[in-house]
Structure 1
Amino acid sequence: MSDHSLYSERQTILVVDDTPDNIALLSTLLKDRYKVRAANNGERALAIAAGQPRPDLILLDIMMPGMDGYEVCERLKIDPHTADIPVIFLTAKVQVEDEEFGLHLGAVDYITKPISPPIVLARVETHLTLKRARQFLQDRNAYLEAEVWRRSREVMAIQEVTIMAMASLAETRDNATGNHIRRTQHYVRVLAQHLRHHPRFTAALNDETIELLFKSAPLHDIGKVGIPDRILLKPGRLTPDEFEIMKTHAALGRDAIAAAERYLDTPDSFLRFAREIAYSHQEKWDGSGYPEGLWGEQIPLSARLMAVADVYDALISRRIYKPALPHEQAVAMIREGRDQHFDPDIVDAFLECAEQFRTIAARFADDEQVWRHTLEQVEAALSDETIVLGGDTGAR
């Protein structure tokens, strides 16, 4: 190995002393092991410490004219660029209170003059070793934090892909609902964010929960993949028997998501809200909904949020079995459903956020070409069916 490479790998020691003889003595002592730089006053020491490359350790005299060593140390520790540089005081002061004050300012050690060469070399090497260890731990922690962030992003991406892949199954059955699932997830997030500081909901709604609710919302109708086309796409009133079949989509959706969760083998999977929403978003606050006739807070919060989002969007959207209603009329109908269909506090939040709902609806408006294509699909799928025209008997 060349002398140059040996020199370049050496750590740098800054010697600060106003006496040339002391600088010469320390430089001679250290030069065979370290790269040595020198400053004969505090201002020069601060300039060198702030420059590049920064010293790895500073040997600092206390009694200097102008800026003494205490002030130099204090200013080094205030500056975030130099705060981590170990400082060892070199001084003729031998009082305990002097040493205590220096350590209080941030120095790592205190060596009295006249110096003992073996002690100086031992103390310098000890503190450089400690600094290397601290730097290693800092670098390791930074690496681990970056790795955790990277893996968290991977997990989030897997969650999003999994949910959207499952949601796309329902969308392939009914193309007209493609933007519906996008609108409803944004509605749910708006409601949850608005309610997060409400006394009834603050314990349940935090950033993580709201993000999972947003991701889970697209799966609310995943169970409709199991509903026959003659019922799902029927452009007229469902018979009582057909409506009973339609209602099974809640259990079908829950079971499909539960099956996916079993493969995850975790006690509290990211799909838990999706399972709740799929199964319970057709329940009503007064107990008149399905599939179990739950009422009030028996209904999971995730499903209560989705109920408002889903009904509002169903009202303002054109479907094969109904025309679209104006925003104002949809808002009025949600208001009328307070304490009956919907959680009253969630309705109040909806009324305060109604303009945000209108904005979301406009942003993700249905494509007319997709709508016409859907009608063609319906006509093809039901060409051999006898269709009874009229109003729908229940929410789909």
Structure 2
Amino acid sequence: MSHFASPMTILMVEDNALQRRVLEAQLQPLGHRLLVAANGEEALACLKAGGPGPDMVIMDVVMPSLDGFKACESIKADPATADIPVLVLTALSRDAKDRSYAAGADDFIRKPANTLLLQVRVQTHLRIRTLSLRTGPLAPARPKVVVASANAMVLTQVQNHFGKDQATYFEAQGESQTRAQILAHQPDLLVLDTDLSEGSAQALAMALHQSKELTNLPILLMHDPGELETWSRLQEPVADALEKPLVAPETRRRVALLARLAHLQKLVGQA
């Protein structure tokens, strides 16, 4: 992919052979090297094998020997592997998301994973890892965020969920107003609702991605359930996706992730 000078390495930790093949088919188009571990113990052995290790881990949690929660805790407790992003991918319901984040996971997706969502999350975490290795520790940054939605309540929700004092927000209702706000304020990221008062969210995302000046602008796509399938061929312009109705912890996590990406891109660009 264009964001990487060379392919990166993803460790897939999954005990079910069919699920491994599904995951491999979803990830192969990204062009990265894929490694496989059948359980948590094999994953930890792979990470401690020496030499260049994986750049990211995609972890199931229900596995024999050592489950994914404990494996994730071990990865994050070891200074040598703590900075490797871990994405938990599981069909386990109930409190699986909370338990994953409590174990130190960087991200969480329920099975069956939407291919576009999985691909954009993987690409974003790998981009952040690549940039982090070049910049070192991050200083706090207050991002500028354009929120584009036909629903004025969405801006209020994003502000309340991420924090009114944590960012500077600009509102837009349609495609033309969004373009104007981006040109006027040069935001760090765009929160783009598929519901706009005029124009097309897809056309806008493609146009921004094809613009030399704005191709790296992180876009967080807000969509209705089932709507993401219509974006299946548009993974490049989108850095993350968030299903409506918005839930505070997830909105905060998604905006924070892309704010971090934007800040790293700016630091590397200034270096």
Q: TM-score range by the shorter chain?
A: 0.3 to 0.5
More helix by share: 1
Q: TM-score, normalised by structure 2?
A: 0.46
Q: Report which of the two structures shows the higher radius of gyration computed on alpha carbons.
A: 1
Q: TM-score, normalised by structure 1?
A: 0.32
More strand by share: 2
